[in-house]
């Protein structure tokens, strides 16, 4: 099998290639379709603003640094919930377990009642979801623009984790790991 090369001057490839499609000019819908094939964890970010709980489901979460311990997540810049979250000094990233899909869907909605779902505990006034795969308590470091999204960088101040199996997001829907040996 030969390697196919692409250049702007010669957009046609030669040789054997995989059945995948190459898009030299990528539109947002194509990016969304391609990235939906990458399974991700599902998390809910929670905080307390003026004594009231606030939270939302996120799909892009990453560990940024171990020393100092930093994590980041990204949300659409037009999110009204994120406008509240970014005002909070502390927040918690709750990585959901496979049996917590209802919480995922509840926190993705705009209507109320989100904090009536699931079981809760609090740490330093910040709501945490009980039985999550991990709960990562953070102090807000910064909020930054990233195209049509905003990112929040948090310094990890406390972390708890369990052996619960994670809830995944794949091809536009929640899913579970099928390999029970993992």
The 10s digit of each residue's pLDDT in 146-166 is 999 999 999 999 999 999 999
| Average pLDDT of every residue of the chain | 87
Tokens of 31: 């990016």
Task: Quick: pLDDT tens for 71-118.
Answer: 999 999 999 999 999 999 999 999 999 999 999 999 998 877 899 999
Q: What angle do CA 32, 60, 58 make, to 5 degrees?
A: 105
Say how many Å lie between the first and final Cα of the chain, rounded.
34
Residue 138: pLDDT above 60?
A: yes
CA atoms within 13 A on the CB side of 172: 4
Tokens of 19: 């059945």
CA 118 to CA 166: how far, in whole Å? 15
CA 24 to CA 162: how far, in whole Å? 43
The overall pTM is greater than 0.85:
no
Please, what are the domains in the chain? 42-166 (2.30.110.10)
91 forms bridges with which residues in the sheet? 138
Query: How confident is the model at residue 24, as a pLDDT?
Result: 65
Residue 11: pLDDT above 80?
A: no
Task: Quick: pLDDT tens for 44-71.
Answer: 999 999 999 999 999 899 999 999 999 9
Query: How confident is the model at residue 136, as a pLDDT?
Result: 98
Measured in whole angstroms, how far is the alpha carbon of residue 161 from the centre of its chain?
A: 17
Q: Given pLDDT bands bounded at 50, 70 and 90, which one contains residue 139?
A: very high
Rounded to an integer, the average pLDDT of 121-141 is 95
Rounded to an integer, the average pLDDT of 27-36 is 86
Rg (CA), the chain: 19
Q: Where are the alpha helices (DSSP H) in the chain?
A: 28-35, 80-85, 101-108
Residue 173: pLDDT above 60?
A: yes
Helix (H) or strand (E) holding 65: strand 60-66
């Amino acid at each position: 099998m030969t390697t196919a090369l692409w250049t702007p001057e010669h957009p046609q490839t030669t040789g054997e290639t995989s059945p995948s499609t190459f898009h030299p000019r990528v539109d947002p819908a194509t990016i969304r379709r391609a990235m939906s094939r990458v399974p991700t964890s599902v998390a809910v970010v929670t905080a307390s603003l003026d004594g009231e709980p606030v939270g939302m489901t996120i799909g892009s979460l990453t560990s940024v640094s171990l020393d100092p311990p930093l994590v980041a997540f990204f949300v659409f810049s037009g999110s009204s919930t994120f406008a509240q979250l970014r005002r909070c000094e502390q927040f918690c990233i709750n990585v959901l377990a496979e049996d917590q899909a209802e919480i995922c869907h509840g926190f993705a909605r705009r209507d109320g009642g989100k904090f009536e779902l699931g079981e809760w505990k609090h740490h330093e006034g910040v709501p945490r979801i009980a039985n999550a795969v991990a709960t990562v308590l953070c102090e807000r470091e910064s909020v930054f623009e990233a195209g049509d999204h905003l990112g929040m960088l948090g310094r990890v101040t406390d972390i708890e984790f369990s052996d619960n199996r994670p809830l995944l997001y794949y091809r536009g829907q929640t899913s579970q790991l099928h390999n029970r040996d993992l």
